[in-house]
Amino acid sequence: MKSNFLLLTLLIFISCKAQNTPLYIGTYTDGYSEGIYKLDFNQNTGQLSNLQLAISTQNPSFITYSRNKKYIYAVSESLGGSVSSFKIRENGHLKFLNKVSSNGEGPCHISLNRQGNKAVVSNYRGGSASIYSIARDGKLNDATQIFNYNTDDKVSHAHSAQFFRDELYIADLGINALYQYKLKGDTYELALPTIVEMTENPGPRHFTITKNGLFIYIINEYGNSITSVKKTENGFEQIDYDTTLDKNYEGNNSCADIHLSRNELYLYGSNRGENSIVVFKRNKFNGTIQKIQTVPVHGDWYQETLH
């Protein structure tokens, strides 16, 4: 699962009024890296400066932070798999709070609900996802629910998950599905085994949801594509399917992350191989997208083990 520092690792921007914004970077620590790093990001010039180690921790490959900007949460792809919570100090460095099991090998993604009292972790190698409650002091409690997607004839690779109101969506790259759960009481129950049928092994990896919840955009690692989905009265329907690659690119590629702009007029996806960020303009009325730009990242990626 290891890949380019620029394209796979999550970068966290913490909003503030100052010109320089603290930026946190999760890394793999099998080489020279030591944990989670902090940089100053100049929003006017794009310059990065003042690189510091925010905290030493093993393989924090994906990180996210709480809405109140007081805590950071990181998965660790070390043996056994774990997820940790950290408090952000006044100087921007991190204080370790606690660590719990991810309940599966190779945790690769974590996200929080809007209230900040629940977290969901996706375990790539384990083929499972775990839900956690978060205490008022930012610490993680042990998992309240664990979903295992492996079957006798299918190997799961759960790769990302997101809460949306009383729903939960989980992307499974191995089984080519985007599961939908609905909250019933205190537990999430499976509503749909996949919101749309996916053929030819596209490998749904990450996804983003519009603020009103009517549209979902899924980036496919193997298919080098984005599947656009609309929510209907009877479920979901696919409305678009677009390549992320330039028409002249002929090399190998694996897609990674996807994000909507704040005004939801633009959609961004990352290409590992083409080493680019692809930009789509989005029609806010019907949800379709149109590619308008491919921007090089001026870096390269590497991969030790192919997904």
pLDDT at residue number 16: 46
pLDDT at 307 over 90: no
End-to-end C-alpha distance for the chain, whole angstroms: 6
**Confidence class of residue 303 from pLDDT cuts 50, 70 and 90?**
low
Cα gap 101→157, rounded to integer Å = 18
- How far CA 45 is from CA of 40, 263, 297, in Å, comes to 12, 22, 16
**Confidence class of residue 8 from pLDDT cuts 50, 70 and 90?**
very low
The residue with tokens 């603020």 is 211
Cα gap 286→284, rounded to integer Å = 6
Higher per-residue pLDDT: 15 or 292: 292
Span 17-41, pLDDT tens digits:
457 889 999 999 999 999 999 999 9
In order, the DSSP letters of 52-78 are EEEEE-S---EEEE-TTSSEEEEEE-S
> Are 148 and 122 in contact, with CB atoms under 8 Å apart?
no
Strand, coil or helix: what is 285?
Answer: coil
Average pLDDT over residues 162-189: 97
Span 109-160, pLDDT tens digits:
999 999 999 999 999 999 999 999 999 999 999 999 999 999 999 999 999 9
pLDDT at residue number 165: 96
Higher per-residue pLDDT: 40 or 16: 40
**Confidence class of residue 302 from pLDDT cuts 50, 70 and 90?**
low
Number of other CB atoms surrounding residue 80 within 10 Å: 13
Query: Across the chain, what does the average pLDDT equal?
Result: 92
Span 179-230, pLDDT tens digits:
999 999 999 999 999 999 999 999 999 999 999 999 999 999 999 999 999 9
The residue with tokens 């899924």 is 218
Span 247-262, pLDDT tens digits:
999 999 999 999 999 9
pLDDT at residue number 266: 98
pLDDT at residue number 118: 98
pLDDT at residue number 301: 81
Alpha carbon 7 to chain centroid distance? 11
Which residues neighbour 94 within 8 Å (Cβ) at sequence distance 6 or greater?
36, 54, 55, 72, 86, 87, 88
pLDDT at residue number 54: 98
- 292 token code pair: 């308008």
Cα gap 273→91, rounded to integer Å = 37
pLDDT at 4 over 60: no
Cα gap 179→239, rounded to integer Å = 18
Which amino acid appears at position 28 of this protein? Answer: Y
> Are 98 and 146 in contact, with CB atoms under 8 Å apart?
no
pLDDT at residue number 1: 55
pLDDT at residue number 20: 85
Sheet holding 48-56, edge to edge: 11-13, 20-25, 35-42, 48-56
Span 66-97, pLDDT tens digits:
999 999 999 999 878 999 999 999 999 999 99
Cα gap 104→124, rounded to integer Å = 8
pLDDT at 268 over 90: yes
